[in-house]
């Protein structure tokens, strides 16, 4: 019988080894190789889809429901201000420093450890572990591609730093490229139509835009203008103004519905979405896994940050070790005790679970 302490120490060592392999989004081949080899060493029979690595628990049966354990192996680029080497696991004061330690290496190794344990015990469901790539850029070669090759999924647990509290709803994302068209003229004369003024009117309309429905967990849709560009020189009335709008959507509306309401609120501009595929997600609070977490003392919440849940068309929730506030920061770290607690939480939640 596999020893839980052995699994824990293996998980911490794998995390340290992963930190030492640069794995910025779309450049994850080396860390995928590492994860695949380690899984093979542990007898998990890994398979590969591009830079996504997965394994399926023994005795898979299409007659049983299937649960996905997923987290991502890619990282952002190191932020300014690191005082440690971001590509070397450094342990000090019961912390492991290193790029991707918190987001989301600790979740990867904790979920893999739980998968190792659960696969050794016959469950009432099929279990799939997936270490996916391109999460930080919502790339099409990551989980979106991997899901095309996996069996049908009934529910998923996504590993992200949530202080081991379950995020049962998550905001979606749309980035809109907006454009206001005017007419050029000489700035000294009363001629032309200033595209900047048209853009300002639209931006203010979006600031004031309210929605009839509001998500109980995620609150209102959040609309932010984040980039604006116009003009060629001081004495020419600009005939075009372009700006970028960041829209954080909720489960009260689909991305497409939200887009149409934005267009109706500011008809003087055009709004072109870079994508509408990153939808909000949610799992019912009555779901057996959520209810089990509540009995374990966990408190469900709604998350404002985006994850691969946005690309899942089945119920999912986000729960993992670490703190979201540490993500994408200099001197990112995880505490080993958080990994141990995560392994225990995942196993307690899922061992002989029914859903």
The DSSP secondary structure of 126-173, one letter per residue, reads EEEEEEES-GGGT-TTSHHHHGGGSPP-SEEEE---STT--EEEE-EE
**Residue 296 to residue 308: CA distance in whole angstroms:** 25
Asked if residue 346 is part of any domain, the answer here is yes
Could you tell me if 129 and 189 lie in one domain? Answer: no
Could you tell me if 58 and 142 lie in one domain? Answer: yes
Tokens of 56: 């399926």
Of 221, 256, 273, which residue constitutes the final position of a domain?
Answer: 273
CATH code assigned at 305: 3.40.630.10
CATH code assigned at 269: 3.30.70.360
Q: Domain range holding 195?
A: 172-273
Using 50 as the pLDDT threshold, list the residues of the chain that sit under it. none
Asked if residue 355 is part of any domain, the answer here is no
Of 220, 249, 273, which residue constitutes the final position of a domain?
Answer: 273
Q: What local confidence, expressed as pLDDT, does residue 353 receive?
A: 87
Q: What local confidence, expressed as pLDDT, does residue 2 receive?
A: 78
Report how far apart, in Å, the C-alpha atoms of 152 and of each of 68, 80, 319 are.
10, 42, 21
Asked if residue 50 is part of any domain, the answer here is yes
Could you tell me if 102 and 231 lie in one domain? Answer: no
Could you tell me if 9 and 153 lie in one domain? Answer: yes
Q: What local confidence, expressed as pLDDT, does residue 1 receive?
A: 64
Could you tell me if 122 and 15 lie in one domain? Answer: yes
* pLDDT tens, residue by residue, 210-266: 999 999 889 999 999 999 999 999 999 999 999 999 999 998 999 999 999 999 999
Tokens of 161: 């730093």
Report how far apart, in Å, the C-alpha atoms of 65 and of each of 13, 34, 55, 57, 243 are.
32, 30, 16, 12, 46
Could you tell me if 289 and 336 lie in one domain? Answer: yes
Could you tell me if 213 and 225 lie in one domain? Answer: yes
| Residue 40 · residue 100 · CB < 8 Å | no
How many domains does the chain fold into? 2
Of 273, 290, 312, which residue constitutes the final position of a domain?
Answer: 273
> Token match 């993500």: residue?
327
């Amino acid at each position: 019988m596999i020893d839980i302490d052995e699994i824990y120490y293996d998980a911490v060592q794998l995390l340290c080894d992963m930190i030492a392999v640069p794995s910025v989004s779309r450049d994850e081949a080396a860390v995928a190789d590492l994860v695949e080899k380690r899984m093979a060493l542990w007898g998990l029979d890994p398979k590969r889809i591009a830079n996504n690595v997965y394994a399926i628990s023994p005795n898979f049966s299409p007659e049983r429901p299937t649960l996905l354990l997923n987290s991502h192996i890619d990282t952002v680029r190191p932020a300014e201000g690191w005082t440690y080497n971001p590509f070397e696991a450094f342990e000090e004061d019961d912390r492991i420093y290193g790029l991707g330690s918190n987001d989301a290496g600790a979740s990867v190794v904790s979920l893999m450890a739980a998968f190792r344990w659960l696969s050794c015990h016959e469950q009432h469901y099929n279990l799939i572990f997936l270490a996916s790539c391109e999460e930080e850029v919502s790339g099409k070669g990551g989980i979106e591609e991997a899901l095309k090759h996996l069996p049908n999924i009934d529910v998923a647990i996504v590993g992200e730093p949530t202080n081991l509290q379950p995020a049962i709803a998550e905001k979606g994302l749309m980035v809109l490229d907006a454009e206001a068209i005017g007419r050029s003229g000489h700035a000294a004369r009363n001629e032309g139509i200033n595209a900047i003024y048209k853009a300002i009117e639209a931006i203010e309309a979006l600031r004031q835009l309210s929605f009839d429905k509001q998500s109980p967990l995620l609150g209102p849709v959040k609309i932010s203008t984040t980039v604006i560009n116009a003009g060629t020189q001081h004495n020419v009335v600009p005939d075009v103004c372009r700006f970028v709008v960041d829209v954080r959507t909720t489960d009260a509306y689909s991305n497409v519905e939200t887009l149409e309401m934005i267009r109706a609120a500011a008809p003087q501009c055009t709004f072109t979405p870079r994508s509408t595929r990153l939808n909000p997600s949610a799992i019912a609070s009555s779901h057996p896994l959520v209810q089990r977490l509540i009995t374990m003392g966990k408190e469900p919440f709604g998350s404002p940050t985006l994850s691969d849940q946005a690309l899942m068309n089945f119920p999912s929730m986000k729960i993992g070790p670490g703190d979201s506030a540490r993500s994408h920061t200099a001197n990112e770290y995880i505490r080993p005790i958080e990994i141990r607690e995560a392994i225990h939480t995942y196993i307690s939640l899922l061992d002989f679970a029914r859903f």
